[in-house]
Amino acid sequence: MLIDERPGSYRLAGAAVEATQLTSAAIDATIEGRWHLCAIDRGTLKRLMKRSDAPGLRNFGLWLALLIASGTAGALAWGSWWALPAFFVYGTLYCSSDARWHDCAHGTPFRSRWLNEGFYHLASFMALREAYLWRWSHSRHHTHTMIPGRDPEIQVPRPANLPRIALDFLHLIDGPSELRKIALHALGIVTADARDLVPMRDRGKMIWSSRAYLAVIGAVAAWSWAIGSLLPMMYVLLPRFYGAWHHQLCSLTQHAGLAENVRDHRLNTRTVEMSAVHRFLYLNMNYHLEHHMFPMVPFHALAKLHEAIKDQLPRSCTGFIDAYREIIPVLIRQARDPGYFLCRELPPGSAGA
Amino acid sequence: MTAAADPGKNALSQSLHWIAVCAAEDIEVEDVRRFDHAGATYALYRTPTGYYASAGYCTHEQAHLADGLVLGEIIECPRHQGRFHIPSGKAGSAPVCLDLKTYPVRLDRGMVYIGLDAG
């Protein structure tokens, strides 16, 4: 555990007057050479990067089938207590979309572009992450991972806001925030962060995409109102909230409590071993360090990538309990001591950032 | 272009310096390799339709395209998966916006040459 220098601000550079000094063109110009990369044979990496439709179709196909099955069970059980477990499963599966838009944004689950793009837009809508804004946001996240003022996706800005983290297990903070952005963009009002992230050529698409999201949500809400039942909303929009727990449980492990302002994913990103069910829902993003270092590797090859470079990485957490045993105390401390963070121990002989 | 049989065929060709990059078989189909020359970096591709060359850095954030993935006639940047059409250098999907500069390539006696401006 270390105390570091406090960052200037988490607001994005284009929108902030007090943005951190780490926003200069010089950093952008040298960013490529400054991120640590583990050594891996080009031939091995090329094999791991190989694209195929089959693994993606199996995973996404099963996901859609389970969504339909649990959704049907929920409809049949509506009005009885059996609807609760059915919609618990449906909501959890629905929020697996938060892992799926992400992978499709990288273009890696499928070799066929139309499959990546089709699922990208579907999953982006389900996850309430407007597709054009979040594609650019996530690109920035990979360039400036955990660099305050540049990374728009730092999940736990310091000082850690513990109630906010807890409320996001039901998406009660980020959900309304995303809905607000979608509503503003649908009205043609481009938010400051979006101006910083999205180039002019994509702003019109972002606005029309936001309008489409609102149109679908509005239509389902109108249907619910017309029939005097919440049931239609249980399939669209609401599951993003009542089913959010699993993705929050997984995604909080990615960077929480780790270092900021270091250009070494081994120090600011965490890999956690998870069971097959969790990995299915989370699309193997438990290998998050490996994903950040080599984002070209598709979800189905991340375990092999982990095996290939694990000798050069800090130890992985052995599961959720192990991960949260290190995350929770750090976050509690960060709530009152924003300079505090967990310093990962690098393997002997491995250069630091 | 894939291969100009005669380097002195036209005026354009004569105004170029042809620099040997590698043996043709040193690069697999659907692969890319980096080539540094005179302080600049280039990417040499072998696609199912032939050999091509471009500037070595992605126009988005300066990642080496030689670390990327060749899919048919597309090169995908290793950092953010922005895409370029290899023969034309045209920028495809986000986050790339600016086209890639391309360079002529020719094959001669089993070697791949890249044509760089004489100036």
pLDDT tens-digit profile of B60-116? Answer: 888 899 999 999 999 999 988 899 999 999 998 878 889 999 999 999 999 999 999
Query: Could you tell me which residues come within 8 angstroms of residue A94 by beta carbon, excluding any fewer than 6 positions away?
Result: A67, A126, A239, A240, A243
Closest CA to A38 of A297, A228, A222: A297
pLDDT band at A110 (very low <50, low <70, confident <90, very high): very high
Query: Is B79 within 8 Å of A106 when comparing Cβ atoms?
Result: no
Of B62, B80, B95, the CB nearest to A29: B62
Predicted TM-score (pTM) of this structure: 0.87
Whole-number Å distance between alpha carbons of B80 and A189 = 27
Chain A contacts of B76, Cβ < 8 Å? Answer: 107, 296
pLDDT in the model for residue A349: 73
Query: Is A295 within 8 Å of B79 when comparing Cβ atoms?
Result: yes
Domains along the sequence of chain B with CATH: 11-117 (2.102.10.10)
Query: Could you tell me which residues come within 8 angstroms of residue B10 by beta carbon, excluding any fewer than 6 positions away?
Result: none
Chain-centroid distance of CA A270 in Å reads 13
Whole-number Å distance between alpha carbons of A289 and A280 = 18
Query: Could you tell me which residues come within 8 angstroms of residue A332 by beta carbon, excluding any fewer than 6 positions away?
Result: A160, A162
- Chain A interface, mutation test: which of B27, B58, B61, most A Cβ atoms within 10 Å? B61
- Tell which wins on pLDDT, A36 or A31: A36
Structural domain boundaries of chain A?
2-22+41-341
Q: Give me the mean pLDDT over the A331-339 stretch.
A: 97
Q: Give me the mean pLDDT over the A91-109 stretch.
A: 97
Q: List the 243-262 stretch of A: residues with Cβ below 8 A of B.
A: none
Partner A contacted by B78 (CB < 8 A):
yes
| pLDDT tens-digit readout, B10-64 | 555 668 899 999 999 999 999 999 999 888 899 999 999 999 999 999 998 888 9
Least confident of A79-83, A183-187, B2-6: B2-6
Q: Give me the mean pLDDT over the A203-225 stretch.
A: 98
Q: Among residues of chain A, what percentage have pLDDT more than 90?
A: 87
Asked if residues A242 and A210 have their Cβ atoms less than 8 Å apart, the reply is: no
Question: What mean pLDDT value characterizes chain A?
Answer: 91
Whole-number Å distance between alpha carbons of A213 and A233 = 14
Asked if residues B80 and B60 have their Cβ atoms less than 8 Å apart, the reply is: yes
Asked if residues A90 and A243 have their Cβ atoms less than 8 Å apart, the reply is: yes
Give the position of tokens 């967990």.
A342
Query: Is B81 within 8 Å of A143 when comparing Cβ atoms?
Result: no
> Measuring CA to CA, how many Å separate B59 from each of A29, A292, B64, B91?
11, 20, 10, 9
pLDDT band at A11 (very low <50, low <70, confident <90, very high): low
Q: Among residues of chain A, what percentage have pLDDT more than 70?
A: 90
Query: Is B71 within 8 Å of A111 when comparing Cβ atoms?
Result: yes
